[in-house]
Amino acid sequence: MRLGSVLVGGRRTIAVAEGSRIVDLGAAAPHAPASLKELLGAGPAALQQAAAAAKAAPASATLHEGSFTWLPLLENPAKILCLGLNFAEHAAEGGHDKPSYPIFFARFNTTLVAHEAPLIRPRASEQFDYEGEMAVIIGQRARHLTEANAFSAVAGYSIFNDGSVRDYQRKTSQWTVGKNFDGSGGFGPWMVTTDELAPGATGLRLQTRLNGKVMQDANTTDMVFSVLETLVTISEVLTLEPGDVISMGTPSGVGFARKPPVFMRHGDVCEIEIEKIGLLRNPIADERG
């Protein structure tokens, strides 16, 4: 099942892909949760009910192109955790060794941007870089996961653009500032549930294109730390909750490592496509004022 977050006539609702059409879950099932975070928090049975409601939805619940606006897949996750240097070739292009323990950093909700909405290149820098990544969406509260049960915590997978302001990223040994400019992170449009993908979403091609040119081209199997290992490691430290997001790191080909460097500019279009998950597209716009 594919689920997204949209705005319809000022009303927030969940979009469900049902065959060739997109169903407004709020119209098909008026008492259903209006946000994906709320739906995930209601448990696996709620996802099954959403699927059944979308399948039985009348034609009047169909969303047509131009009748809705995409929202970030999750607008207010409690936690957005990102992995750094999780592809060996990306680590090497930045002059780093392959990490022996996952490198984690946090993102915040104000950075999130929906599919088709502009990523904001800040006034403070001209070094706004793309990073195509796969995102893991947590569906159940979990702590101290093991290799035997870790995947039970996952609801699905999506796409993330970990837009990075490189000069600010390097101002300190911590990357937080360069990874958290407002409006710098694309997220969505769909969450694809785990039943449609291999465990850990392995074997999927990930490609980033800037103005149609392929900049990154890799496979989720190439990650240094798999989804399974990452879940076990994170849950040693903290409790994962429904709606939490883990972005799994980017492959080689980022703009700062190119010669000469390639950074995103006003008017550019960045697309990230992950096999079987979908396409995230964002134009780039300069910060106003």
Q: What is the DSSP string of 40-71?
A: HHT-HHHHHHHHHHHHT--GGGEE-TTS-EE-
pLDDT of residue 179: 98
User: Which residues, in sequence order, are CB contacts of 267 under 8 Å at separation 6+?
Assistant: 283, 284, 285
Cβ neighbours around 213 below 10 Å, total: 8
Handedness of CA 260, 264, 268, 271 (dihedral sign): positive
Distance CA 56, CA 157 (A): 25
What tens digit of pLDDT does each residue of 88-103 get? 999 999 999 999 999 9
How buried is 173 (Cβ within 10 angstroms: 0-12 exposed, 13-18 middle, 19+ buried)? exposed
pLDDT of residue 274: 98
Measured between alpha carbons, how far is residue 258 from residues 86, 94, 117, 207 in Å? 19, 10, 26, 16
Mean pLDDT of 205-220: 98
pTM: 0.98
pLDDT of residue 195: 97
Q: What is the CA radius of gyration of the chain?
A: 18
Question: How much of the chain, in percent, has pLDDT values that exceed 90?
Answer: 99
For residue 289, pLDDT over 90 is answered with: no
For residue 9, pLDDT over 90 is answered with: yes
Cβ neighbours around 268 below 10 Å, total: 18
Show the domains of the chain with their CATH numbers. Answer: 2-70 (no CATH), 80-286 (3.90.850.10)
Question: How much of the chain, in percent, has pLDDT values that exceed 70?
Answer: 100
Distance CA 257, CA 268 (A): 19
Q: Is 251 left (phi over 0), alpha (psi -120 to 50) or beta?
A: beta
Choose among 95, 89, 25, 92: nearest CA to 55. Answer: 25
What tens digit of pLDDT does each residue of 271-284 get? 999 999 999 999 99
H or E stretch at 247: strand 245-247
How buried is 287 (Cβ within 10 angstroms: 0-12 exposed, 13-18 middle, 19+ buried)? middle
DSSP for 192-243, written as a single string: EEGGGS-GGGTT-EEEEEETTEEEEEEEGGGBSS-HHHHHHHHHTTS-B-TT
**Residue carrying the six token digits 């995103």:** 264
Which tokens go with 187?
Answer: 């997220």
What tens digit of pLDDT does each residue of 141-151 get? 999 999 999 99
C-beta separation of 184 from 119 below 8 A: yes
Could you report how far apart the first and last alpha carbons of the chain are, in Å? 41
For residue 232, pLDDT over 90 is answered with: yes
How buried is 259 (Cβ within 10 angstroms: 0-12 exposed, 13-18 middle, 19+ buried)? exposed
